[in-house]
């Protein structure tokens, strides 16, 4: 279980969950909720720091921890899956990581390439790139899938 790959969306959800105690009351009730994403990502020292700072009776300090959690959740979602894996899944065996990305990876690549080709086609139709440039870039994008 400790070597299973971490999921980018789950880390973001747990980071956003750090706002729940603040949303319902001004006093943090569950320090584990604030440090949940750090525990999930196995960043034990940060989890201890977040948990202990979230129960400090000084509201400004607790709010800073909650804001940091929200910003980290946004950062997790904005990262490419490869960058997330590089940052948080380095200790996971390659075969387990490959199984996780085997399902989502190809689908995301095809969707990204499809969108990029549509944008290139629009640029070509608008006369901003030539037919030759369009064909070159389209082939490069399609080569990424295979």
Provide the pLDDT confidence category of residue 15 given band limits of 50, 70 and 90. confident
Separation CA 20–CA 51 (nearest Å): 14
Which tokens hold the place of 34?
A: 């604030």
* 91-110: average pLDDT: 55
Residue that wins the pLDDT comparison between 32 and 98: 32
pTM for the structure as a whole: 0.56
Which tokens hold the place of 68?
A: 């940091």
Separation CA 81–CA 14 (nearest Å): 17
Separation CA 68–CA 82 (nearest Å): 23
Residue 125 has a pLDDT of 92
Residue 2 has a pLDDT of 55
Provide the pLDDT confidence category of residue 65 given band limits of 50, 70 and 90. confident
């Amino acid at each position: 279980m400790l070597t299973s790959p971490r999921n980018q969306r789950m880390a973001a959800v747990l980071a956003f969950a750090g706002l729940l105690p603040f949303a319902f009351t001004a006093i943090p009730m569950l320090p584990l909720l604030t440090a949940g994403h750090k525990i999930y990502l196995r960043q034990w020292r940060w989890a201890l720091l977040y948990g202990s700072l979230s129960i400090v009776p000084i509201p400004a300090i607790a709010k800073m921890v909650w804001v940091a959690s929200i910003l980290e959740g946004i950062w997790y979602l904005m990262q490419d899956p490869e960058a997330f894996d590089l940052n948080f899944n380095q200790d996971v065996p390659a075969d387990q990581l490959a199984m996780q990305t085997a399902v989502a990876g190809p689908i995301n690549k095809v969707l990204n390439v499809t969108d990029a080709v549509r944008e290139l086609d629009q640029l070509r139709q608008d006369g901003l790139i030539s037919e030759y440039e369009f064909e070159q870039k389209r082939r490069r994008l399609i080569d990424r899938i295979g």
